[in-house]
Structure 1
Amino acid sequence: MTDTTDAPASGSNAQALDERLKRLNAVERDKVAVNLRPKDAATLLILDRVAGGELRVLMGRRHMRHKFFPGAYVFPGGRVDRGDSFVPVAEDYHPDVLAKVSHAMKGPKTTSRARAFAVAAIRETYEEAGVFVGTKGAAADPRLGGEFAAFVERGVAPSLAPFRLVARAITPPKRPRRFDTRFFAVFADAIAETLPEGTGPSGELEDVAWVTFDEAKAKSQLPPITHTIMDELVARLARDPKLAPQTPVPFYQWVGNGFRRAEV
C-alpha cells in the first residue's frame, strides 16, 4: 500500500477532474458553523448488468423528513454504528480491499473496525432498500442478531468478499453534518434476497429502483458528491470492468480552500 498521492491527469482526464472539483467546490458552506469532526459512514452501489450490457445501479429518494439532503436521490448507506464492529461475517474482504479501507483510518486501526464500514453498508442497504447482501444458506451465527435478525431468519450471512472500495470522501469543514464515507460497490449477484415490498423497514428511502447512470445523473436532486462518485465509477469500469481489488481508488477531501483528489 502506497501513501496517498495526487492522481496524475492529462487531456480529457484532466478536464473531467477539473469539472468534478468545480462541482464539489460550488456547494455552499456556512462559514460560521461549528467545525464538526466527521463521522464514519458507508455507502453501497449495487451494480446490475442488463441485456445489452448497460449497467444499472440501485438508488432511492431520501424522505423529506431528513435534515441531511431531504428529497435527494442517493445510494443506500449511512453512519457506521459502534455495534457494526462486532457483527460476524461469513467471508472477509480481499486483502487489497482491507488495506484500502484501513488507509488513513481515523481512530483505532483494527481489522474489526475496518470491517464495520462494509457491515454498515450491508445493514443500511437492508434497512433502506430491503436488499440482503450476503451468502445464502449459511448457518446462523449465534452472535448475529439485533438489527441483523432478519438475516438469520432467512439464512443469510453478511459477506465482505464481493465488496470493492470505489471511493472515499470527507465532507468539508463548516457543514452542519460531516461524514468520512467509504463508497463500496458490489455486483447484483451478491444479493441473497430482497423484500417483496421494494423498500426497507426504516422507510428512509422512497422510490427505490434500478436506474442507469444516465438516468441517475438526469435527476434534479442529485447531491454533487453522488454525481462525482458515479463519474468516477463509470471511468473505472471502462478500464477495469471487473473492479479488480488492487485498482487505486479516489479520495476526495477539503484541503485549504477547496477539494483535493488523491488516490489510495
Structure 2
Amino acid sequence: MEALTKADADKLDKGLATHGGGRLRPRDAATLILLDRKGGDVLVLMGRRHAAHAFMPGKFVFPGGRTDPADSRIPTATALDQHEEAKLTAGPGRTSRARARAIALSAVRETYEEAGLLIGRKGAFATTRRDWQGFVEHGVAPSLEALRFVARAITPPNRVRRFDTRFFSAWRGDVAVELPDGGPTNELEELVWLPLAKAKQADIPDITRMILDELEKRLADDPLLRPGGPVPFYRLVRNHFTRELL
C-alpha cells in the first residue's frame, strides 16, 4: 500500500463525488471499459452524461451503474475466469462469489442499457428479470469469461453519493450484438470511440483519467489483458488516500 501524492489525492476527491453532509455506506457499482484496436491505437468507448444528472453532469464516462444483487441469479454462457473471481473476492470487506458475480453482471447489463452493446454469445437465453429482456429479445446469453477486473475505487466519506466501484474491461470482439440506436435508457449521449490518449484529454472525471493511466500501463505490459493482472485499489485509509494492488 502506498499513500498518494496530495495532487493525486485531490484528483481522487474531486473526481468521485461532490461534498455533502452525511456519512454514507458505499454501494456496489460496476463500470465497463470497452476496448477496440484501430491501427496502432487502442480505442475506448465513452459517452457523455446528461447535464441534468446530479452525479458528474456533462462528463464523459464509461457505461456503468449500481449493482443489483438479483443479477447474481442471471444464467450465463460462461463464468468469470477463476483468477478474476479471486481478485474480486480479495481485499477489504466480505465479497462473496455470488456478490462478485452480481457486480460483474451489472457491468454487462449497464453496457447494454446505456450503450446498446450486448456482451455474450448468440443463443437461447431465458429469464423473467425485466432488466435483462434485451438479451432475451436479441438471443444473446450474457458471458463473463471475457471480463477483466482492472481497478477499484471507493468514494471518500462525507459525500452526496458513495460507490464502491469495480472497473472492468473487455474487447469489442466480445460484443455479440450492437444496437444501432444505442441502449434503452437515456443515461448517456454522444457515444464515441476515442484513442486512449484523446480519451484522457476529454472532459472526464479525474478518477477516470487515473484509471485510464493505469489501464494504459497494463496494456503496455500485457497487450492481451490476460487474466489475473494487477488491480489498483484507491480508497481512504486512516484519513489518507492510498493506492494498493489486489
Whether 1:80 aligns to 2:63 is no
Matches within 5 A, 1:91-110: 91-104=78-91, 106=93, 109-110=95-96
Whether 1:127 aligns to 2:109 is no
Q: What is the CA-CA distance between 1:106 and the residue it aligns to?
A: 4.1
SS of the counterpart of 1:236? helix
SS of the counterpart of 1:134? strand
Partner of 1:208: 191
Contact 2:150 2:215 in 1 (8 A): yes
Contact 1:78 1:121 in 2 (8 A): yes
Matches within 5 A, 1:27-66: 30=19, 33-50=21-38, 52-66=39-53
* Residues 67 and 193 of structure 1, relative CA distance in 2, 3 Å threshold: same
Where structure 1 has 5 or more consecutive residues not aligned to the other structure, the ranges are 1-5, 8-13
Matches within 5 A, 1:1-264: 6=1, 18=5, 20-25=8-13, 30=19, 33-50=21-38, 52-104=39-91, 106=93, 109-136=95-122, 138-140=123-125, 142-143=126-127, 145-197=129-181, 199-219=182-202, 221-264=203-246
Contact 1:145 1:152 in 2 (8 A): no
- What is the alpha-carbon distance in structure 2 between the residues aligned to residue 26 and residue 158 of structure 1? 34
SS of the counterpart of 2:167? strand
Q: Quick one: percent identity of the two aligned structures?
A: 48
| RMSD between aligned residues | 2.0
TM-score, normalised relative to structure 1: 0.86
Q: What is the CA-CA distance between 1:20 and the residue it aligns to?
A: 3.8
Contact 1:123 1:148 in 2 (8 A): yes
* Residues 244 and 21 of structure 1, relative CA distance in 2, 3 Å threshold: farther
SS of the counterpart of 2:189? strand
Number of paired residues?
A: 244
Q: Deviations over 1:72-91 (max 9, x none)?
A: 11000000012212111110
Where structure 2 has 5 or more consecutive residues not aligned to the other structure, the ranges are none
- What is the alpha-carbon distance in structure 1 between the residues aligned to residue 68 and residue 14 of structure 2? 31
Contact 1:61 1:206 in 2 (8 A): yes
- What is the alpha-carbon distance in structure 2 between the residues aligned to residue 179 and residue 154 of structure 1? 31
Amino acid at match of 2:174: A
TM-score, normalised relative to structure 2: 0.92
* Residues 106 and 89 of structure 1, relative CA distance in 2, 3 Å threshold: farther
SS of the counterpart of 1:114? helix
Amino acid at match of 2:214: E
Q: What is the CA-CA distance between 1:144 and the residue it aligns to?
A: 5.5
Q: Deviations over 1:203-245 (max 9, x none)?
A: 10000111112221222x3111111100000011111111121
Q: Deviations over 1:54-101 (max 9, x none)?
A: 000000001122111111110000000122121111100110100111
Contact 2:41 2:196 in 1 (8 A): no
Q: What is the CA-CA distance between 1:23 and the residue it aligns to?
A: 2.5
